[in-house]
Homo-oligomer: A and B are copies of this chain.
């Protein structure tokens, strides 16, 4: 029960709010910022001056069409190439690293496919660090990395980023973030976060869920993850393990799940199940996403077994969604990763199961949507997570910028 903030805390908060606004909404005039933040223009000017001095934004003439006659109004623009974060996505099938600028543009990226079942933490961290170094070398000499975060397909403890559970990627209780941070040598920690949680964050701030403060994101890969936004904030739970929707048991005594239980949503809807129902074995030559797409394509072309397979998993998916609708009363449920294709191929079954199993009150206003950010949702989410510190308190970053040897590449 703390007292309200001090004037200095309010100034830091306002600097962060202004920066966050132009990061998410793009270049904005002082008038727009003044109205959005409920401040007068002289205060906006002072805040902008501080952020400009720190190298986080600049003021310039608006670009492109839409300029009116007369003296054009300056816009505040994030320093989108100079200030950046490193975003890592350690997927079951691929590794991806991106340099993402303030404002959200992916400036540069590296990707590599992974072989399933093989996972050497040291080797993986080495590969990620190597790719990141290649990206940072290509950044300008005055560019500054202000954060780093990694999406991981498993359960991550918030207090120390230790991986606790990753059934589709064999790894013990290790801290990949610490290892990667050491290998990067940027003097920056690397936050590690559940991939589906980051997908939820990404769709909430940059995708289909903009403006929806109660959102459930379902992410299909080999496994079935989830990320939940409650009242505008990502649900973490006591230790950061929140959102493990894939291990909600929807079918007691059903299919065996990688977690040891039976009938989890992941077991009833996951990639392996769909491929088994469709009579298609997993193949080391075809990625999971491609195999799922092949089933959806076959169903579209009239393949009865493929269509039946989609309908079976769609029914369970709808039952899972119904439970979540009853529990959370969300404004939107978003299907991402391979679940995007599965949902598109079984929307009628999903909606039917939802109508049967959800209460009418929470059901009547919920929107079912597919993810907008595609395969990049987790990477975009990692970037947003990496930007969180600088957006919460740019003053901290100012201090960091003043001792460049600690953070500059």
Measuring CB to CB, which residues of chain A are less than 8 angstroms from any residue of chain B?
A: 1-5, 9-11, 13-14, 17, 20-21, 36-39, 43, 155, 157, 164-165, 213-214, 226, 228, 230-231, 233, 235-245, 247-252, 259-261, 319, 322-324, 326-331, 356-362, 365-366
* A237, B329: Cβ atoms closer than 8 Å: yes
- CA separation between A239 and B213, bound complex, in Å? 11
Q: A231-B233, A356-B261 are in contact. Are A249 and B3 (CB under 8 A)?
A: no
A1's partner among B37, B235, B249, B327 (CB-CB below 8 A) is B37
Known: A248-B326, A261-B357. A362 touches B241 (CB 8 A): yes
Which B residues touch A239, using CB under 8 A? 329, 361-362, 365
Partner of A13, one of B4, B213, B323, B362: B4
Q: How far is the CB of A395 from chain B (nearest CB, A)?
A: 13
Residue numbers in B under 8 Å from A322 (CB-CB): 249, 261
Shortest distance from the beta carbon of A393 to any chain B beta carbon, whole Å: 12
Q: How many copies of this chain does one complex carry? A: 2
Of B236, B241, B243, B248, which contacts A323 at CB under 8 A? B248
Name which residue of chain B comes closest to A154, CB basis.
B361
In contact, A164 and B361 (Cβ under 8 angstroms): yes
Which residues of B sit under 8 angstroms from A164, Cβ to Cβ?
A: 360-361
A329: chain B residues at CB < 8 Å are 236-242, 244
Contact in complex: B155, A249 (CB < 8 Å):
no
Residues of B within 8 A of A243 (CB): 327
Answer whether A10 and B20 are a contact pair too, CB < 8 Å, given A236-B329, A247-B326, A330-B238. no
Q: Is the CB of B14 within 8 A of A1?
A: no
CA distance A3 to B18 in the complex (A): 8
> What would be 22 A-B contacts, judged by CB atoms less than 8 Å apart?
A1-B17, A1-B21, A2-B37, A4-B5, A4-B11, A164-B360, A165-B359, A228-B327, A230-B230, A237-B329, A238-B329, A238-B331, A238-B365, A239-B361, A241-B359, A241-B362, A244-B326, A244-B327, A245-B326, A249-B322, A249-B323, A323-B323
Q: Is the CB of A230 within 8 A of B241?
A: no
Residues of chain B with a CB closer than 8 A to A328's CB: 235, 237, 242
> Which chain B residue shows the least CB distance to A239?
B329
The answer to whether A359 touches B155, judged by C-beta atoms less than 8 angstroms apart, is yes
Contact of A360 among B1, B165, B245, B319 (CB under 8 A): B165
Judging by beta carbons under 8 Å apart, are A230 and B238 in contact? no
Q: Which 7 A-B pairs have the closest CB atoms?
A: A237-B329, A4-B10, A241-B329, A164-B361, A238-B331, A3-B37, A4-B13
